[in-house]
Amino acid sequence: MKFSSNIQVIQAQFDGPRLKPIYAHGVEDAGCDLKANIPSPITIEPWKSVWVGTGVHLAMPEGMFALQAPRSGLSCNHGITLANAPGIIDPGYRGEIRCKLVNLSDEPYTVYPLERIAQLVFLPFVNAAFMTCDSLPESSRGEDGYGSTGAM
């Protein structure tokens, strides 16, 4: 089954033409790749973290946010992930999207200029209006959680 392409135009500014996020496999990708906006390589020592800019600034439409996620190759092969994964970028934020990269391996890792360091996924959201109540309705799960199924 094939779904039609769903493309949303988002206003953006880039600190350089080569920093524009890319979808490596086109419409088959949910996330676009963010690149390192650094003038020279940065080495992340084991169990340390560094901020890396991407040179990307966005103006997302109302009702949309961006989810910043690690790249699976960096995480699985090198232990490089995001300190706040997943990171939420609110639609009102206009500053540079930055990544707090953390090295969870025992080996130093060097990030190079324009290296793909994270991915960005755009999602819709709703705001909740909280209604105080005396009790919550019953459910089959109740208060069971955090490993109650034995999977933890």
What's the helix, strand, coil split of the chain in %, to 5? 10, 35, 55
Residue 20: name the closest of 58, 48, 64, 49 by CA. Answer: 58
Alpha carbons 20 and 22: distance in angstroms, whole number = 6
- At 151 the pLDDT is 61
The pLDDT profile of the chain, 152 residues, written as one tens digit per residue, is 555 567 788 999 999 999 999 999 888 899 999 999 999 999 999 999 999 999 999 999 999 999 999 999 999 999 999 999 999 999 999 999 999 999 999 999 999 999 999 999 999 999 999 999 999 999 888 887 777 777 65
- At 2 the pLDDT is 55
Secondary structure, 3-state, 90-138: CCCCCCCCEEEEEECCCCCEEECCCCEEEEEEEEECCCCCCCCCCCCCC
Instruction: Map out the domains of the chain with their CATH numbers.
Output: 11-124 (2.70.40.10)
Strand pairing partners for 51? 100
**Predicted TM-score (pTM) of this structure:** 0.85
Alpha carbons 28 and 48: distance in angstroms, whole number = 33
Residues sharing a CB contact under 8 Å with residue 66, sequence separation 6 or more, in sequence order: 58, 60, 88, 89, 97, 120, 121, 122, 123
